[in-house]
Amino acid sequence: MIEVIDFTKQYGDFMAVDGLNLSIAEGEIYGFIGPNGAGKSTTIRFLATLLRPTSGEGRIAGHSVTQDPMAVRRVIGFMPDDFGVYDGMKVWEFLDFFAVAYEIPRLERRRTIGEVLELLDLTHKRDDFVNGLSKGMKQRLCLAKTLVHNPPVLILDEPASGLDPRARLEMKSLLSELSRMGKTILVSSHILSELADFCTSIGVIERGKLLASGSIQEIQRELRAHRVLKVRLLNESPERFAHVLKEHSAVKAESVNTIDRTLSAEFEGDGSAQADLLRRLIDSGAIVEAFDEEQLSLEDVFMMITKGVVN
Amino acid sequence: MGMFRDNPVLSRELLVNLRSHRAFILQFAYAGILAVAVLVAWPRVDDGRLGASVTAARQLFDLFFFGQFILVALVAPTFAAGSITGEKERKTYELLLASPLKPSWILIGKLLSSLTYLVLLLASSLPMMILGYLLGGILLSEVARAYLVLILAAGTFGLVSLAASSYFRRTSSALVVSYLIILPLVIVSLYLASTEDITLRNFVSVTLLPPWTIAVWSIVIGLINLRLLRPPDVGSEGKEVVDEEEEQKYAIGVVIDRDLFPDKLFAPAKRTDLMPDGTNPVLDKELRSEIFSQGTLMLRVVIQVSMFLSIPLMAGFLFWRPMPGWYICYVLTFNLLVGPVFSSGSITQERERQTINLLLTTLLTPGRIVRAKLLAALRVSTVLTLLLTEQVILAYALVRDLQLQFWTIIPFFLIILVTCLMTSSIGLLWSSLVRKTSVAMIATYMSLMALFVLPVGLYRWSLSVAQGVSDEVLRWILVPSPYAAAMSVLIVGDRPTNMGGDVQPIERPLAWAGVPIWVISIGLFLVISLVCHVVTLIAFRYRWWRARESV
Ligand SMILES: Nc1ncnc2c1ncn2[C@@H]1O[C@H](COP(=O)(O)OP(=O)(O)OP(=O)(O)O)[C@@H](O)[C@H]1O
Ligand SMILES: [Mg+2]
């Protein structure tokens, strides 16, 4: 549905984005993450037909971003990272303005505006001046604006920035809801936990380069080589068993924590190697309370990727 | 003295203002122009006749004085009118107010910083003035008096603009209101200064002017202080939400009612329901929401001041002596002042408010957007300008001399309408070329001033320089000026004696074309408007792709 091919953007000598390739299938929620200044907004603005690339191409629903921007605009709903609102307009006028700008007939407008206001829980603000809305409200209003022409693709640049925790949760469930309605969503953020639970795929970008891209499971699988096993023992002085780990061929490094009696091992093996390690530990007299792979949080993934551990 | 030496507002502003290369380039350019003026006047000094140098010196002196007076009137507002609104636009105003700085410090800092540059400009003319003095014929006291008047004018105009800046939310509003208030002051001062009566001149400039100026200053300073001490409430993100109805309740004087004629012509009623299909949403938005988004204060002031000014002018030029050209010049000046307000911000504001990205990802084409912006600006400025022409129609209906030449009303209206189109087009052009509204606005004013006034100055100058060339040819220089166009419409009738015969030179046909100036002017203005529109469209399309790079 969304495809970026070798997108490069240069500002003077500075490479903001360098040969980025990306492919997002229909119905996905793609989380685009990276630290500040990584090039997220640059890529997103390119896809939103607002930025001429130094080189490269993008396609949305089969339309070329550079050749046929009008067709692209018809199918995308775009929410920029920073945006303003017009003065002297009420909420419904604001939405009507954009609905007309998307050439939606009047009858349909009446229905859609009501619907998006309902969906974003803004119905009670219908007759308020947009300028008087709080930051979070404006954020929701802008999201409402992206939905008035019912686009199949949503491109959202940090939609949750400036929202309180509760509003963030609401934003998440809203995006999941939209995804259930069959929309393809590209959403950027530098806060990973925001994307973790509802994105189907993520892409990690730093200094203009895509470091990793794929479904969350895929990326974690890629990180398999570096997973960490945690063994909690009931024995006194667990350090006695450290040699068992050391001698195992799949263990790259190990450490002991005597206080909570755990051994951890950086492990590079498959499932059977893992079972073998457990057997050996038990054979050598260890009383194993727990034997588990440490759950990598998205933060860890992110740190590992940006530290260059992967790729 | 601490107020001056340790004033953070002053030092910061001075740094920003004077550090730019532009400031120095301007200064040099200015000194250069003055030097050229002196050089041009110089050769005529030794054409043998006694007293010729004295006449030359006097002319030079007058040129310097009037030129600089107009310069002060033009430039003082450009610095001062943005000084407080700029803080509001950058959202730093609340920071400034919340700081322990006293309002009077802020005021002094802003005033001095906006005037320093102007005073520097004036000072750089001093060597040339002295040179003129050396030619003889001028008293040193006259030079001193000229500078006194200039400094007083700079202070007054600066303070007026600062007051406007403290009352309005946008630089554009503050700027236009400042110019409107300064306009009558300039007309009266220039009139007084051009009198030949030396004693009157002395009396006015030395005895009358200083105490009155000081009195006006203290009133204006008091007003600004009051405003800074008790700023109006601002809502979230420092923005005020204007409730029109609420505001109208407390309005003094004219009240704008969107439902009544003629107000609804420039301010159609707000919508109560969705737009009909096929509406250009940008046009609709501009007319119904944007114009009043900053409140009605600016428009009300503009309408009241212009009406107030029109009364004596109407009495003088339409009824007492039927010289409608002069009154039309006033109407054109009004358009020159208000035209840019509605056009020069219309693209830059989308950028400043960060709505441009939202707009550009819709299906609206650049062509439709630019057209809507032009139409909206044109409509508002034209209707406001035409409000001043009902007096003209009245005069044509009542004054016999005019009744007899009723057809002359046609060129007058054509000139007004085409000038409206031209001022709006030039404003929109600048709005598409630069990033900031204040810059677009000032650039527009400068271009329009150049167009309106420069040809007249050039023509007068060429009369003395190019003596072999006939007047029919020289008058081609006047074609770009709407003033000249208005004055070139032939009106015969009862004229004051010092104006000579029945047909004025300016009303005679031009060389080659065989028609009077206004015919060519109207064509030229249309061409200028068209070219501006095309360039605007190209610039906007170009920016449209480079949207990010230009933020
Ligand atoms: N107009 C410009 N001129 C020069 N450099 C620019 C321009 N726009 C962006 N950049 C640079 O390009 C890089 C990428 O910027 P971008 O806005 O895409 O980052 P981002 O990932 O969206 O960051 P953030 O999380 O802060 O929003 C930054 O280093 C930025 O400084
Ligand atoms: Mg960004």
| B330 contacts B418 by C-beta, under 8 angstroms | no
Q: How far is the CA of A37 from the centre of ligand 2 (A)?
A: 7
Identify which of B138, B135, B145, B141 has the alpha carbon closest to the alpha carbon of residue B39: B135
At residue B143, the pLDDT reads 84
Could you tell me which residue, B80 or B322, shows the higher pLDDT? Answer: B80
Q: Of the candidates B277, B284, B363, which has its C-beta nearest A73's C-beta?
A: B363
Answer yes or no: do A146 and A234 share one domain.
no
Looking up residue A270, the CATH number of its domain turns out to be 3.30.70.100
Mutate to test the interface with A, among B172, B548, B549, B551 (most CBs of A within 10 A): B548
Give per-residue pLDDT as tens, B444-460: 988 998 899 889 888 88
Q: How far is the CA of B233 from the centre of ligand 2 (A)?
A: 32
Give per-residue pLDDT as tens, B87-144: 887 777 777 777 777 888 888 888 888 888 888 888 888 887 777 777 777 778 888 8
Domain for residue A308, yes or no?
Answer: no
Dihedral through CA A144, CA A147, CA A148, CA A151, nearest 10? 170
Answer yes or no: do A149 and A99 share one domain.
yes
Q: How far apart are the first and last CA of chain B?
A: 41
Give per-residue pLDDT as tens, B147-157: 888 999 999 99
Flag whether pLDDT at B549 surpasses 60: no
Residue A280, domain extent: 226-295
Tokens of B389: 């022409």
Answer yes or no: do A245 and A97 share one domain.
no
Cross-chain residue pair B277–A80, CB shorter than 8 Å: no
Answer yes or no: do A235 and A276 share one domain.
yes
| B343 contacts B381 by C-beta, under 8 angstroms | yes
CA distance A126 to A311: 50
| B16 contacts B110 by C-beta, under 8 angstroms | no
Once rounded to an integer, what is the mean pLDDT over residues A189-206? 78
At residue B225, the pLDDT reads 85
Cross-chain residue pair A100–B281, CB shorter than 8 Å: yes
Answer yes or no: do A132 and A64 share one domain.
yes
Once rounded to an integer, what is the mean pLDDT over residues B281-286? 88
CA–CA min distance B237, chain A (Å): 9
Give the number of C-alpha atoms closer than 13 A to the C-alpha of residue A257, restricted to the C-beta side.
Answer: 10
Place of tokens 């600004």: B224
Predicted model pTM:
0.81
Residue A246 burial by Cβ neighbours in a 10 Å radius (0-12, 13-18, 19+): exposed
Place of tokens 């109207």: B522
Answer yes or no: do A267 and A208 share one domain.
no
Flag whether pLDDT at B43 surpasses 70: no
Identify which of B475, B459, B461, B460 has the alpha carbon closest to the alpha carbon of residue B519: B475
Domain for residue A112, yes or no?
Answer: yes
Q: Which residues of B touch A88 (CB under 8 A)?
A: 242, 244, 289-290, 292-293
Q: Kindly report the protein residue whose alpha carbon is nearest to atom 11 of ligand 1.
A: A16
Tokens of B97: 């107010």
Answer yes or no: do A256 and A206 share one domain.
no
Closest atom of ligand 1 to A158 CA is: 27
* Nearest residue on chain B to A112, alpha-carbon basis: B274
Q: Of the candidates A83, A103, A135, which has its C-beta nearest B357's C-beta?
A: A83
Q: Which of A8, A10, A11 to mutate to test the pocket of ligand 1 (most atoms within 8 A of CB)?
A: A11
Flag whether pLDDT at B373 surpasses 70: yes
DSSP result, B334-358: HHHHHHHHHHTTTTHHHHHTT-HHH
Domain for residue A214, yes or no?
Answer: yes
Looking up residue A95, the CATH number of its domain turns out to be 3.40.50.300
Give per-residue pLDDT as tens, B172-197: 888 888 988 898 888 888 878 777 77
Flag whether pLDDT at B26 surpasses 60: yes
Give per-residue pLDDT as tens, A145-172: 999 999 999 999 988 887 888 888 888 8
Domain for residue A300, yes or no?
Answer: no
Dihedral through CA B56, CA B61, CA B64, CA B67, nearest 10? -90
The answer to whether residue B247 neighbours chain A at the CB level (below 8 Å) is no
Could you tell me which residue, B74 or B249, shows the higher pLDDT? Answer: B74
At residue A141, the pLDDT reads 92
Domain for residue A25, yes or no?
Answer: yes
The answer to whether residue B264 neighbours chain A at the CB level (below 8 Å) is no
| A251 contacts A266 by C-beta, under 8 angstroms | yes
The answer to whether residue A80 neighbours chain B at the CB level (below 8 Å) is yes
* Nearest residue on chain B to A127, alpha-carbon basis: B272
User: B35 φ, ψ to 5°?
Assistant: -60, -40
**ipTM topping 0.90:** no
Answer yes or no: do A175 and A273 share one domain.
no
By percentage, how much of chain B surpasses pLDDT 70?
83
Compute CA A226 distance to the chain's CA centroid, rounded to the nearest angstrom: 22
Once rounded to an integer, what is the mean pLDDT over residues B530-549? 78
Q: Range with the lowest mean pLDDT among A79-93, B249-263, B347-361?
A: B249-263
CA distance B460 to B423: 24
Q: How far is the CA of B548 from the centre of ligand 2 (A)?
A: 11
| A21 contacts A5 by C-beta, under 8 angstroms | yes
Cross-chain residue pair A103–B294, CB shorter than 8 Å: no
Flag whether pLDDT at A33 surpasses 70: yes
Give per-residue pLDDT as tens, A283-311: 888 888 888 877 666 566 666 666 654 44
The answer to whether residue A131 neighbours chain B at the CB level (below 8 Å) is yes
Tokens of B182: 């300064």
At residue B289, the pLDDT reads 79
Once rounded to an integer, what is the mean pLDDT over residues B48-65? 69
Flag whether pLDDT at B236 surpasses 60: no
List all residues of chain B from 292 to 331 with a beta carbon under 8 Å from chain A: 292-294
Flag whether pLDDT at B2 surpasses 90: no
Ranked by mean pLDDT, which of A173-187, B83-97, B239-253 comes out on top?
A173-187
Answer yes or no: do A139 and A277 share one domain.
no
Q: How far is the CA of A306 from the centre of ligand 1 (A)?
A: 18
Domain boundary among A221, A245, A270: A221
Q: Kindly report the protein residue whose alpha carbon is nearest to atom 22 of ligand 1.
A: A41
By percentage, how much of chain B surpasses pLDDT 90?
20
Flag whether pLDDT at B32 surpasses 50: yes
Flag whether pLDDT at B548 surpasses 50: no
Domain for residue A255, yes or no?
Answer: yes
* Summary mean pLDDT of chain A: 85
Cross-chain residue pair A85–B353, CB shorter than 8 Å: yes
Identify which of B173, B480, B450 has the alpha carbon closest to the alpha carbon of residue B298: B173
Q: How far is the CA of A157 from the centre of ligand 2 (A)?
A: 7
Measured CA distances, A115 to A145, A147, A148, A149, B170 (Å): 12, 10, 9, 12, 36
Domain for residue A303, yes or no?
Answer: no
Q: How far is the CA of B54 from the centre of ligand 1 (A)?
A: 65
Answer yes or no: do A24 and A107 share one domain.
yes
Q: Which of A13, A18, A40, A47 to mutate to test the pocket of ligand 1 (most atoms within 8 A of CB)?
A: A40
How many distinct structural domains can be found in chain A?
Answer: 2
Residue B267 burial by Cβ neighbours in a 10 Å radius (0-12, 13-18, 19+): buried
Q: Range with the lowest mean pLDDT among A68-82, B149-163, B222-236?
A: B222-236
Answer yes or no: do A170 and A239 share one domain.
no
Domain for residue A123, yes or no?
Answer: yes
The answer to whether residue A111 neighbours chain B at the CB level (below 8 Å) is no
Q: Which residues of A touch B290 (CB under 8 A)?
A: 86-88
CA distance A2 to A24: 5
Q: Which residues of A touch B281 (CB under 8 A)?
A: 96-98, 100-101
Answer yes or no: do A206 and A279 share one domain.
no
At residue B489, the pLDDT reads 87
CA–CA min distance A271, chain B (Å): 50
Domain boundary among A177, A204, A221: A221
The answer to whether residue A52 neighbours chain B at the CB level (below 8 Å) is yes
Ligand nearest to the CA of A10: 1
Q: How far is the CA of B492 from the centre of ligand 2 (A)?
A: 68
H helices present in A32-124, as ranges: 40-47, 69-75, 91-101, 106-119
Ligand nearest to the CA of A51: 1
Compute CA B532 distance to the chain's CA centroid, rounded to the nearest angstrom: 20
Cross-chain residue pair A96–B275, CB shorter than 8 Å: yes
Q: Range with the lowest mean pLDDT among B268-277, B322-331, B479-488?
A: B268-277
At residue B545, the pLDDT reads 59
Tokens of A84: 């303003």
